[in-house]
């Protein structure tokens, strides 16, 4: 009979065995207790499973990945099933946080000095040219070009603006999943190289929260690519941006997942993808 009982392979099984043993042993002990403590003990026997179930559903809703055993992650859907498309509210919230963090680096004027689209009268204009007119537009264009470049270089298909199931506040610019591997990409457009420390740390803490929710054997299969894009050509500013990239690389050494920091020139990306 014992040979028909499989090994305990899943945290859910451990929870079930613990709850069953606690209730059975508690019931067997009850008759042997003094009458003055039996009432208190009965209340414990009634409330304990309720609390246990409540904690279980809280974990199930907020961090359900920890309830899976390593053997549950076998097929090509390993990482794919952990992500979903972020809602528009989540995407806008992330943009707002990033823009607030940039502070004075996100002016409304474009690099050529114009303050608004209305200041120039152009009969026909391309979508790319429209994006170039504001700092935010350049950031959007940079994100699109970098993700396209990474997809071409790595041979991966990236999903855009995705969040982790159970972690609704964690939104990534792009994620590619292949079997037991996940590549997470974040793109930052800058002209000053001014990345507040809290913003840099948040990139890594966001991915760390996801990594910590995975089985040990999967944590080493996450790669983080942080792309820094600029359209300035001043040597002083470029040197500052490169220093920022080096500082981010130093921060990345404190985390277990592989991190690659790349610096791109906007003009090179536009030339590669024939942006007009």
Q: Give me the CATH number covering residue 191.
A: 3.40.1350
Q: What DSSP character marks residue 71?
A: G
Residues 144 and 240 in one domain: yes
Strands 181-189 and 167-178: antiparallel
**Exposure string for 186-199, b = 16+ CB within 10 A, e = fewer:** bbbbbbbbbbeeee
Q: How many domains does the chain have?
A: 2
User: How confident is the model at residue 114, as a pLDDT?
Assistant: 45
**Exposure string for 131-156, b = 16+ CB within 10 A, e = fewer:** bbbbbebbbebbbbbbbebbbeeeeb
Residues 153 and 217 in one domain: yes
Residues 110 and 146 in one domain: yes
Residues 206 and 146 in one domain: yes
Q: What is the pLDDT of residues 74-123, one digit of tens each?
A: 544 457 666 777 665 666 566 666 655 555 465 544 444 444 444 444 44
Residues 96 and 21 in one domain: no
* Bridge partners of residue 177, in order along the sequence: 182
* DSSP string over 222-248: EEEEEEEEE----HHHHHHHHHHHHHH
**Contact (Cβ atoms closer than 8 angstroms) between residue 115 and residue 109:** yes
Residue 160 lies in a domain: yes
- Which phi and psi (to 5°) does residue 213 adopt? -85, -5
Residues 52 and 156 in one domain: no
Q: What DSSP character marks residue 53?
A: H
Q: What is the pLDDT of residues 39-87, one digit of tens each?
A: 888 888 788 888 888 887 887 777 666 666 655 555 444 576 667 776 6
Look at 242 and 30; give whichever has higher pLDDT.
242
User: How confident is the model at residue 134, as a pLDDT?
Assistant: 82
Residues 49 and 87 in one domain: no
Is pTM beyond 0.75 here? no
Which residue, 22, 171, 187, 8, is CA-closest to 94?
Answer: 171
Q: Is 251 exposed, middle or buried (0-12, 13-18, 19+ CB in 10 A)?
A: middle
Q: What is the pLDDT of residues 3-22, one digit of tens each?
A: 454 555 666 777 778 778 87
List the alpha helices (DSSP H) in the chain.
Answer: 11-29, 35-62, 88-102, 127-132, 135-154, 197-212, 216-219, 235-252, 266-272
What's the Cα-to-Cα distance from 65 to each of 11, 30, 156, 161, 262, rounded to whole Å?
10, 37, 25, 21, 31
Residue 69 lies in a domain: no
User: How confident is the model at residue 269, as a pLDDT?
Assistant: 93
User: How confident is the model at residue 207, as a pLDDT?
Assistant: 86
Residues 39 and 171 in one domain: no
Q: What is the pLDDT of residues 150-177, one digit of tens each?
A: 999 999 999 888 887 766 667 889 999 8
Residue 68 lies in a domain: no
What's the Cα-to-Cα distance from 67 to each of 10, 133, 168, 206, rounded to whole Å?
7, 48, 18, 20
Q: What domain range includes position 240?
A: 80-272
Q: What DSSP character marks residue 44?
A: H
The pLDDT of residue 241 is above 70: yes
Mean pLDDT computed over 209-226: 82
Domain boundary residue among 34, 62, 90? Answer: 62
Residue 70 lies in a domain: no
């Amino acid at each position: 009979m014992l040979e028909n009982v499989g090994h305990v392979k899943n945290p859910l099984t451990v929870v079930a065995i613990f709850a069953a043993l606690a209730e059975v042993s508690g019931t067997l002990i009850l008759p042997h207790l003094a009458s003055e403590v039996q009432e208190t003990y009965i209340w414990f026997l009634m409330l304990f499973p309720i609390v246990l179930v409540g904690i279980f559903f809280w974990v199930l809703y907020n961090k359900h990945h920890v309830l899976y055993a390593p053997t549950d992650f076998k097929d090509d859907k390993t990482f794919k099933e952990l992500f979903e498309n972020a809602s528009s509210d989540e995407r806008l919230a992330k943009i707002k946080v990033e823009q607030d963090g940039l502070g004075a680096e996100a002016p409304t004027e474009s690099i050529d000095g114009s303050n608004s689209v209305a200041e120039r009268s152009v009969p026909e204009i391309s979508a790319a040219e429209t994006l170039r007119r504001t700092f935010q537009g350049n950031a959007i264009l940079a994100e699109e070009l970098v993700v396209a470049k990474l997809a071409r270089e790595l041979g991966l298909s990236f999903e855009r603006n995705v969040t982790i199931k159970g972690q609704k506040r964690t939104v990534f610019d792009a994620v590619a999943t292949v079997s037991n591997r996940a590549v997470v990409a974040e793109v930052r457009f800058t002209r000053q190289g001014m990345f507040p420390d809290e913003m840099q740390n948040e990139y890594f803490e966001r991915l760390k929260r996801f990594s910590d929710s995975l089985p040990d054997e999967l944590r080493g299969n996450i790669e983080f690519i942080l792309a820094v894009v600029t359209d300035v050509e001043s040597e002083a500013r470029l040197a500052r941006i490169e220093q920022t990239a080096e500082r981010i690389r130093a921060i990345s050494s404190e985390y277990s997942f592989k991190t690659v920091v790349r610096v791109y020139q906007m003009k090179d990306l536009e030339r590669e993808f024939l942006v007009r």
